[in-house]
């Protein structure tokens, strides 16, 4: 065996503790695959209780309360950043790269917001900056795009990359739960944070999609530039109507290069045909479908979050960097060279089919008026059902699927319809992704 590779861990929360366990309990297989012993040399965390857990596993590990001491240590070759957030993590990663230390991170927010500058800094210092765990946990999405499909042109990537949202929608579909009850169940099961905002609003998925767009298309995209919608407005009625139409509702992230060179990037709940494998990805599982020009479709599925899956991806990155270091290989470029400005298609220009749910007055002529208003905007109806609502409110629900139309035209037509006496609540729209 060659010289050992020494790791310094910054942040020993759930994922950090999982990494400590992996490096200790799987040391034999990790070292064998890396080509040298990999030793956890130092761990930094502000919580003494977390450090006590590490001390109990291996008293020889140096324990620190200041993460910024890790990059300064001579006995650290790879710095693992698991503290989260953006500002402090950014300074820490920069400090590690400036000290000529390789870096592994699971911090999707950091890389989505500051990735371009950090990768330039890594290249300037001859360091690797790996982040497999930042997208879809244990599913090797990054590695597949970077390595397995390196010789192909990626046409599209679409998938479920937020397990919390998928767990909630699955609970609503399988148990008939209302959104609030499904969210509470996700929190009790440990799949949703006490503050689930980033997950249910689509923010977490948009961070991950920004990274995917960089890898697949060489795009430099900020999450704020990606059209993003959460799952909060999905109603149990939508799930039932979708099922009756032959679809499931899933929280999707979509990245596709269009024929004119623009990028179609978006995060939102979507109707997915029951014939699509994504329709059968339940619970907290993640799944990604990749379409290549030469290889055609590829499908990856597995656990997208949690201590063990995420720590496994972090450890895999450590092994890769160790191999590079032992082989004397220079740092590896992650992003494709940017080919000029890459325009993101405006969501109003999206051509898609749509699911629409109208709440209307239960009176004669309403259905004809709705159909006429849509038709006047060039929007044709493919399927439609009408149900009279229970109670004495004199209201009804009309659910329909449209043929392809531009979203701007659909939104304008719905705004005009909702301004009339025909509807009793704002019309609900969900895109269909096929």
**Angstrom distance (rounded) from CA 261 to CA 224:** 21
Residue 334, pLDDT score? 60
β 129-130/381-388 pair status: unpaired
Domain ranges of the chain: 5-137+307-327, 147-303, 347-432
CATH code that applies to domain 347-432:
3.30.70.260
Residue 330, pLDDT score? 66
Classified as helix, coil or strand, 321 is helix
139, 302 in Cβ contact below 8 A?
A: yes
* Integer angstrom CA distances of residue 212 from 118, 206, 222, 253, 312: 16, 10, 11, 10, 20
Residue 30, pLDDT score? 95
Give the residue numbers annotated as catalytic, written as ranges.
Answer: 208
**Angstrom distance (rounded) from CA 70 to CA 88:** 14
- Name the residue with tokens 């503290």: 83
Tell me which residue of 11, 31, 32 sits closest to 20, measured CA to CA.
Answer: 11
* Integer angstrom CA distances of residue 356 from 190, 229, 342, 414: 33, 16, 31, 9
CATH code that applies to domain 5-137+307-327:
3.40.50.720
Report the chain (434 residues): mean pLDDT per 10 consecutive residues: 86 94 94 94 97 95 98 97 96 98 96 93 94 90 91 95 95 94 90 90 97 92 96 96 98 96 96 97 95 96 85 95 86 60 90 97 89 93 88 84 97 95 94 96
**Does the global pTM surpass 0.85?**
yes
According to the CATH classification, is domain 147-303 in 3.40.50.740? no
φ, ψ of residue 53 to 5 degrees: the values are -65, -40
318, 80 in Cβ contact below 8 A?
A: yes
């Amino acid at each position: 065996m060659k010289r050992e590779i020494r790791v310094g861990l910054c942040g020993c929360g759930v994922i950090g503790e999982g990494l400590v366990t992996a490096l200790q309990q799987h040391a034999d297989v990790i070292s064998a695959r890396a080509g040298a012993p990999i030793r956890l040399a130092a761990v930094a965390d502000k919580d003494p209780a977390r450090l006590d857990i590490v001390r109990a596993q291996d008293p020889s590990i140096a324990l620190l309360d200041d993460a910024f001491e890790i990059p300064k240590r001579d006995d650290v070759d790879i710095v693992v950043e698991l503290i989260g957030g953006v500002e402090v993590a950014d300074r820490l990663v920069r400090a590690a790269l400036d000290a000529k230390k390789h870096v592994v991170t699971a911090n999707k927010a950091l890389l989505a917001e500051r990735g371009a500058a950090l990768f330039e800094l890594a290249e300037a210092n001859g360091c690797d900056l790996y982040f497999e765990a930042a997208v879809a946990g244990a599913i090797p999405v990054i590695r597949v795009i970077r390595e397995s499909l390196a010789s192909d042109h990626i046409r599209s990537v679409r998938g479920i990359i937020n397990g919390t949202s998928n767990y909630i929608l699955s609970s609503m579909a399988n148990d008939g739960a209302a959104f609030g009850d499904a969210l509470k169940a996700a929190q009790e099961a440990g799949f949703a944070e006490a503050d689930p905002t980033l997950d249910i609003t689509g923010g977490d998925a948009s961070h991950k999609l920004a990274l995917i767009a960089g890898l697949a298309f060489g795009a430099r995209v900020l999450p704020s530039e990606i059209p993003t919608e959460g799952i909060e407005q999905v109603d149990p009625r939508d799930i039932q109507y979708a099922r009756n139409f032959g679809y499931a509702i899933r929280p999707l992230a979509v990245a596709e290069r269009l024929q004119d060179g623009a990028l179609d990037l978006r995060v939102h709940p979507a109707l997915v045909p029951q014939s699509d494998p994504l329709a059968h990805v339940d619970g907290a599982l993640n799944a990604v479908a990749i379409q290549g020009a030469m290889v055609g479709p590829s499908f990856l599925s597995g656990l997208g979050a949690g201590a063990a899956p995420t720590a496994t991806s972090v450890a895999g990155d450590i092994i890769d960097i160790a191999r590079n270091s032992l082989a004397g290989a220079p740092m590896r470029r992650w992003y494709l060279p940017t080919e000029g400005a890459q325009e993101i298609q405006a969501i109003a220009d999206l051509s898609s089919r749509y699911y629409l749910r109208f709440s209307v007055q239960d009176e004669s002529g309403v259905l004809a008026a709705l159909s006429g208003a849509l038709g006047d905007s060039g929007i044709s109806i493919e399927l439609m059902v009408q149900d009279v609502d229970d109670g004495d409110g004199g209201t009804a629900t009309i659910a329909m699927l449209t043929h392809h139309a531009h979203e701007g035209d659909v939104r304008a037509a719905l705004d005009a319809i909702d301004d009339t006496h025909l509807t009793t609540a704002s019309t609900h729209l969900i895109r269909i992704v096929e």
